[in-house]
Amino acid sequence: MLLNVLAVGDVVGEGGQDILSRRLPGLREETAAHFVVVNGENASGVGITPAQARRILESGADVVTLGNHTWNRIQIGAFLDKEERILRPANYAGRVPGRGAGVYPCQGLRIAVINLMGRVDLNSNLDSPFKAANFHLSREKYDLALVDFHAEATSEKGAMGWHLDGRAAAVWGTHTHVPTADCRVLPKGTGFVTDLGMTGPINSVLGIKPENSLNLFLGGLPRRYEEAEGSCKLNACLFAIDAETKKCVSVRRADIEE
């Protein structure tokens, strides 16, 4: 039996939430996905509220992962403690709300999902994501593991894929909002892609109005970023995992563009 895991890239703003709500149920059926993980850390543009997290779960996500904007909407803190289906990066240093890993039942299997965040050009005040991965993989009781690595540097993401090759069934990158064309199965059976991309406005710079980004690069005064408008896309990848060997057999993009 093949276990199909659908991983959806960072949901950005109201447009991203809307296309996810409308299109994820159909995509889940089309891909015969048994398990869906959605990165939701940009649902508010920067951060996510409890209401937005619930909306993503109601859209068909089994687990919601986060990243460097986890605390931009501080009201999410108490929700992270209550809702086991939403994860924040496991390698946050210090005492923060929530959990960075969880184990969920699916098709008679125990699926571990681990959310990690990179340190290169992103947040140096973190524990090592590589050591955090080792810790959770040795601690959790599971049949197969999935890892969302929220990181800036492609080198760090690639290193994590190789670090976990043969130990995690799938490792994917999030954060940069740009889908990569390197879907592959590593030598020991781990499915890998450097970045899923984003779920949000197409005519944008990473989901925001182009003029906001241009203003910054042209030397203008800093101002609040605004979500772009218009047609949206949903970036995702489908990992097919052999339920017996716990190894990935294929990875492919499963994108939608309106």
In a domain, 220, yes or no: no
Please state the domain count of the chain. Answer: 1
For residue 95, being part of any structural domain is answered with yes
Is residue 177 a part of any domain in this protein?
yes
Domain annotation covers residue 210:
no
Q: How far apart are the first and last CA of the chain?
A: 33
List the chain pLDDT tens, one digit each, 258 residues: 999 999 999 999 999 999 999 999 999 999 999 999 999 999 999 999 999 999 999 999 999 999 999 999 999 999 999 999 999 999 998 789 999 999 999 999 999 999 999 999 987 789 999 999 999 999 989 999 999 999 999 999 999 999 999 999 999 999 999 999 999 999 999 999 999 999 999 999 999 899 998 998 999 888 888 999 999 999 999 999 999 999 999 999 999 999
Cβ atoms of 136 and 100 closer than 8 Å: yes
Q: 208 lies in a domain?
A: no
DSSP SS3 for 72? helix
Q: Express each pLDDT in 100-138 by its tens digit.
A: 999 999 999 999 999 999 999 987 789 999 999 999 999
Residue 227 in domain:
no
- Catalytic residue (choose from 69, 136, 175, 177): 69
Report the predicted TM-score, pTM, of the whole model to 2 decimal places: 0.96
Q: Is 136 a catalytic residue?
A: no
| CB-based contact 69:95 (threshold 8 Å) | no
Query: Rounded to whole angstroms, how far apart are CA atoms 83 and 106?
Result: 18
Residue 162 lies in a domain: yes
212 lies in a domain?
no
Backbone angles phi, psi at 137, to 5 degrees: -70, -25
* Residues whose CB falls within 8 Å of the CB of residue 11, separated by 6 or more in sequence, listed in order: 17, 20, 38, 39, 40, 42, 43, 56, 198, 199, 200
pLDDT for the residue 125: 82
Domain around 161: 2-201+232-257
Q: What is the DSSP letter of 71?
A: G
Residue 180 maps to which CATH number? Answer: 3.60.21.10
